[in-house]
Amino acid sequence: MRHQKKLKKLGLKKSHRDSLMKNLVADLVLYETVRTTANRAKALSSRFDRLMRLVRTKEKREAIRILPNYCANSAHGGARRKIIDELKAKYEKRTSGLTRITRIGMRRGDNASLVQIQLV
C-alpha cells in the first residue's frame, strides 16, 4: 500500500529526478513561467511551495544553506539570489498557492499533455 507516499517518480531514477527538479525550479524562478508536462508541473509546484515555505521561515544565512538542495546553480545564475532577495518578500503573506498551472494542449510527438506553470 502507498499510504502517505506523495513522491512522484516520473519514471526516472533518483539522481535524474533530483537534477530535473532542481533545474525546473531554477528556470521557474528565473523566467517565472515554464512549459512542461502535467505530471512534472504538479511535482514542481509542490517542490517550489516547500522551498518557499522553508525560505520564508528561516533566516537569510540558513536559507542560503538550504537552497542547494532545492535549486540548481544555473549557468546563467541568479536563481538563488532572486529567491532570497525578491521572492521571499513577494510571498511573505501567502502560505500556499504560489504557482498557477494552465493547460496548453497536447505535445505533437507523443501526445503528452502540456501545461504552463507560472508564479502567481
Domains and CATH numbers, the chain: 14-119 (3.90.1030.10)
- Nearest alpha carbon to residue 48 among 17, 15, 23, 85: 23
Q: 16-25, pLDDT tens digit by residue?
A: 999 999 999 9
pLDDT above 90 covers what percent of the chain?
71
pLDDT at 39 (0 to 100): 94
Q: 51-68, pLDDT tens digit by residue?
A: 999 999 999 999 889 898
pLDDT of 84 higher than 70:
yes
pLDDT at 76 (0 to 100): 65
pLDDT at 37 (0 to 100): 96
pLDDT of 47 higher than 70:
yes
Dihedrals phi, psi of 109, to nearest 5 degrees? -70, -50
Sheet of 113-119: strand order equals 33-37, 113-119, 99-106
* H or E element, residue 37: strand 33-37
What value does the mean pLDDT of the chain take? 91
Indicate the residue type of 85.
D
